[in-house]
Amino acid sequence: MLKKHLALVFFLSMLFLFFRPSWALPLPSHPEDFVKAFYAEFYKGYYEALDQKKKDPYPRKLIQTKRYFDNRLYSLLQKEHQRSKTAKEICGVLDFDPFMSAQDDAGPVKSTQLIQNGSKTQVKVTFANFGGNHSVLMDLKKEAGNWKIVNFIYAPDRDLIEKLKMLEKEKCQ
């Protein structure tokens, strides 16, 4: 009996070693690779699940990609999702994809551009969107040796954190 258990443990260990899930892989160390890995992991199977009218993939994908976010942004995204589950209307909740700043699938990442300004690191992410290009800036910071997403900047006066804070305070009639 003990031999069977040891064999099973060994088999599962080898399986995990060679076929690790994405959450068990180390995060990329270069900012642009980190950003591409985030989008690839978050959106893998996302739109297919929506098209097939399966359960909303957003909460599962947010949990799967938690390691990409700093704690503050992740907490705000979680709170917003909880509000959206009980909202009777669009008032007080995000009505767009916060990672692409788009209503619909903006397509895969076309390009990234690293922008470093002193201690501030941003990556400009460009998507194909309805025949043109659409971009967002992703604010990053180093935390315990890994990059973390701090915010998404949509325009000089529009960003995700400010939008989430505003929605939190919004009173719906």
What angle separates helix 160-169 from helix 71-86, to the nearest 10 degrees? 40
Q: Which residue has the higher pLDDT, 119 or 22?
A: 119
Q: Which residue has the higher pLDDT, 158 or 48?
A: 158
For residue 30, pLDDT over 70 is answered with: yes
For residue 18, pLDDT over 60 is answered with: no
CA dihedral angle for residue 13, residue 15, residue 19, residue 20, rounded to 10 degrees: -30
> What average pLDDT does the segment 148-158 reach?
94
Kindly indicate the confidence band of residue 152, based on its pLDDT and cuts at 50, 70 and 90: very high
pLDDT of residue 20: 46
pTM (predicted TM-score): 0.79
pLDDT tens sequence across 120-150: 899 999 988 777 888 999 999 999 889 999 9
pLDDT tens sequence across 52-111: 777 778 888 999 999 999 999 999 999 888 887 776 666 667 888 899 888 766 677 888
Cα-flanking dihedrals φ and ψ of residue 42, to 5°?
A: -65, -45
The residue extents of the domains of the chain are: 28-169
**Strand pairing partners for 151?**
139
Question: Is the CB of residue 121 less than 8 Å from the CB of residue 114?
Answer: yes
CA dihedral angle for residue 30, residue 36, residue 24, residue 147, rounded to 10 degrees: 40
Domain 28-169 has CATH 3.10.450.50: yes
